[in-house]
Structure 1
Amino acid sequence: MSFQGISLEELEELEQELLGLGETRLGSLSYSKIEVYEAMHRQLEAIVQEDEDYCAYYTFIKKKLVSYLLRYGAPVSGSDRTIYEDSEKVLKKVLSYDSQNPIAAYRLGFLAYRSGAFSDAAAYLQQALNSQTFYTDERYLLNAEQINRAVLYITNCALHPAIQGEVPAMDFMATAEHATSLSTQLCYNDGMLKSQAYRITTPFGSVLCSKEESVEAPMQDVISLKFNKFGAVLTYNGISEKMAPVQANLLRYLLVKTRKGQTATPLALKDYFLFTHVVTGVPEETFLLVMAEVKQILMEMEIPSAIQTAEDEDYGFYFDGSMPFVVIDRVDEELSL
C-alpha cells in the first residue's frame, strides 16, 4: 500500500478505521496497521527535526510499530527459505527502530544459527544478552529459558567451526586429542536445545519438551492451541482452524492467565490492543471486536462456551476452567504474556 501524498492527519484517521475493523483469520489487517505505523513513523521522523513538540508522539508511534512488528509481523505462509528471509527482514526492522531490543536480537541469532551463519548468530545472541542487563521494557526481555538457550547457542557457535577446522583449534584450547570431547559437548548441547525447544502449558502448569513430543495427537474434548512458524492453529476433536496472531494471543491469555476475579480487560491487554494517540484510553471497541471473533471461532468449532463475562467489571472476560486445554509455544519465539 502506498501512502505517498497522504498527510499525518489522514494516516491517523486510517489508523482509527483499521482499529475499528475485524481481523481476518490470517491476520492481514495487522499487516495493514504495520504499514500505517511505518508511514506515520517516516513522517514524524522528519517533523521532529523541526518541531520538538512532536517528540513524545514520535516515540509513541515507534513503540507501537515495534510491538506490532514483533507480535504480528511474522509471515503466515511460504517456503522455509521465504519465511526465514521475511522473518529476518522484520526483525532487522525492529532493531532499526529499537537497536537494543533483546528479543529481536535473540530471534535474529536463532535464525542465523539455524542457517549455519554461526558468526552472525553469536554476535546477535551476545547482543541480546548484553541488552538484557539494562533494557527497561519487560515485554521484550528474554525469559529464563531463552537466556539459557542463548548461552548454549553461543557455545555451539564456537564449537561448530572448531570441530570443522575452520579456526585454529588452539583458539578453543583444543588439540587433536580433544576433538572427540568437543563433538561430545556439541551433541550434548544440541540435545538440550532440541529436548527443550517447546513449552506445553496446561491447567496444571507448563513443561518443556521436544518438537516430536509437542506434535502428539490432541486428546478428545481438549482445546489445543499451537503456535508455529505460520502463526497459530486451534484444534478441537479433530477440527483445526488457523487463527490470526491477535486472536490467538488473546485466546492464549484467556486460557493461561485468567480466571474468575482475574480477567482479561483492555487495560490488562494494553500491549496487545495498544493505546491510540488520537483517542484517549484503551480502544475498547477493538478489544471487544477481537473478543467476539475469538468466541465466534470457538462456537464454529463447537467448543463448549468457557469464556465468561465478568459481572463486576466493565469489558472483563475470563476462562472459567470448565475445559481442559493445551497451549504449545516454541520457546525461541516466546514473548512475555
Structure 2
Amino acid sequence: MRSGTLEELEEIEQNLLDEEEETGQRNYSMRIELYKEMYNRLKPLARKQNDVYKNYIENVQQSLVYDLIHYGTYLKTEYQKDDHLAAICLEDALKYDRHNPIAAYRLGFLSYKQKNYSSALLYFENALRFQRYDSSHKYKLNSQQQVNAHLYLTNSALYIAQESAKKLNQLSAKENLEISYDDIDSLYTKIFETEKYLQRNAFYNITKNGKIKCSKKECEKLVESQPPKTMILYFNDRTIVAVYEDKEAVLTGDQGNMLKQFILNSTEESPLTRAAFSITHNINLNTYIQSARRLRNKLIDNGFPPMIQTTRYQDETAYYFDESYSYHVLYRVDEEIE
C-alpha cells in the first residue's frame, strides 16, 4: 500500500469491500492500514485544495478512527480482546482525532488496570478536558463515564501521593521537615472507598425493565445461574459470550455488537435493516444478510432456539430479536461508546 497511488489505494479499498461482501466479515487489520495510507495521501492534497478534498479526507479519517476505537482491541484475534493492541490503536485514534474523549478515557482505564497511575491520571485529565473542549464531539463520554473519570483521576492521584508518602517516610533527611507525612491512613480510606464504588458499578445490566449498574461478580453469578428462557449476552474482560440455559456460544466482536443491537433496539414492528449498522461504514445488503445469517446459525448450532427472526421492512431484509425471550445484556461502563 505504501508505494501505491491514491487511485491504486481506492482500487484496493473496492477489492476489500468486495471480499468482505463475499465472506460477510470485515478485515479490520487491512482496513486500518488502508485508511492510514489513504489519509497520508490525502493530507498534502487537502492542504493545497481544501475545498476539493475536505469531505474525502474527513470520511477517510472518520472510518479510520471508528475502526481503531471499536475494533482495535480484536486485531490479533477476532474472538479475544487484547489490551496491549487496544492501547496502541487508541493512541493511533488520538493521532487522527486529537481531542477524542472516549479514546483518552479508555487509555486511562487501561493504564489504571495496569496500575500505571501516572499515565492514567494524564489520560483522564485529557478525557475530561476534551469533553469540555467539544461537548458535541461524536465520541463523548456519557454521564456515568464522566463521574468515573473524576473518580479514577482522584484515585490515581491518591495512589501517587500514597507511594510518595511511603518513600518520603523512608528518607533520613525527612527528620529536618517541619511538617509530618506519617498519617497516610486517610489516603488508604479514600482509595478503598473509591475502588469499592467503581467495582460495585463496573457493569451495566440491561433487561426489559431497564438499565442498572452492577459488579463483575454479580455478572458472573448471573451467567452461572442460567435463568430459564433467558438470553444472557456478556461482554466480559476477554471474550463475548452468549448464554442460554445450559448452552454457550463465544462470539466475535462484530457478532457480539450485532446481537446487542438486535436485543436492545429491534422489535417485530420495528426490525433492523442494514441502515442501523451503517453509521460510519456503508454496509452492503449482502454483507448484512450474511453477517446476520452467520450469527443466527452460530447460535442455533450451539443449541440456542431461533431467537433472531427475519422479515421485510422498508423493502429490505430486516431482523429482530424474538420478544418472547427475556434477556440480560452485560457490559463494562468503561467500554460503552454511545
Name the TM tier (shorter chain). Answer: 0.7 to 0.9
TM norm structure 2: 0.84
Distance in 2 (alpha carbons) for counterparts of 1:162 and 1:66 = 35
Q: Give distance in 1, aligned partners of 2:136 and 2:301.
A: 38
Q: Among residues 188, 211, 214, which one is paired with 2:193 in the alignment?
A: 188
Unaligned runs of 5+ in 2: 170-178
Are residues 231 and 48 of structure 1, via their aligned partners in 2, closer, same or farther at CA, if it must alter by over 3 Å?
Answer: farther
What does residue 301 of structure 2 align with? 300
Query: Equivalents in 2 of 1:61, 1:120: separation in Å?
Result: 29
2:38 matched to 1:40?
A: yes
Alignment CA distance shift 1:247-1:3 (3 Å): farther
Q: Which residue of structure 1 lines up, in the alignment, with residue 175 of structure 2?
A: none
Aligned residue identity for 2:28: S
Within a 5 Å distance, the mapping from 1:102-251 to structure 2 comes to: 102-135=101-134, 139-166=138-165, 176=181, 179-216=184-221, 217=224, 218-251=226-259
Query: For residue 67 of structure 1, what is the amino acid of its counterpart?
Result: Y
Q: Secondary structure at the match of 1:235?
A: strand
Gaps of 5+ in 1: 276-281
Pair 318,237 (structure 1): closer, same or farther in 2 beyond 3 Å? same
Q: Following superposition, which runs of at least 4 residues in structure 1 exceed 6 angstroms of deviation?
A: none
Residue of structure 2 equivalent to 1:93? 92
Q: Which moved more, 1:64-73 or 1:210-219?
A: 210-219
3-state DSSP of counterpart to 2:204: strand
Distance 1:274 1:61 in 2: 10
Q: TM-score, normalised by structure 1?
A: 0.84
Aligned to 1:274: 281
Distance across 2 between alignment mates of 1:63 and 1:307: 30
The aligned residue for residue 323 of structure 2 is 321
Amino acid at match of 1:44: L
- The residue identity in structure 2 corresponding to 1:289 is Q
- Tell me the percent identity: 28
| Cα deviation code 1:264-302 (max 9, x no counterpart) | 22223223x613xxxxxx532322221122212122123
| Matches of 1:12 and 1:76, distance apart in 2 | 18
CA radius of gyration, larger in: 2
CA–CA distance in 1 between the matches of 2:248 and 2:197? 31
1:253 to 229, 249, 261: 261
Deviates more, 1:55-64 or 1:176-185: 176-185
Which one is further off, 116-125 or 301-310?
A: 301-310
Match for residue 279 of structure 1? none
In structure 2, give the amino acid aligned to 1:232: I
Match for 1:70: what amino acid? I
CA contact (8 A) 2:72 2:85 kept: no
Q: Is the 8 A contact 2:74 2:253 kept in 1?
A: no
CA distance in 2, matches of 1:67, 1:326: 26
* In structure 1, C-alpha distance between the alignment counterparts of 2:213 and 2:325, rounded to whole Å: 22
Supply the RMSD in Å over aligned alpha carbons: 2.6
Q: Please give the secondary structure, in 2, of the residue aligned with 1:309.
A: strand
Q: Which residue of 1 aligns with 2:17?
A: 16
Match in the other structure for 1:278: none
Contact 2:231 2:327 in 1 (8 A): yes
Distance 1:283 1:320, change over 3 A: same
In the TM superposition, what is the alpha-carbon distance from 1:89 to its structure 2 partner? 0.6
1:230/1:47 CA distance change after superposition, 3 Å: farther
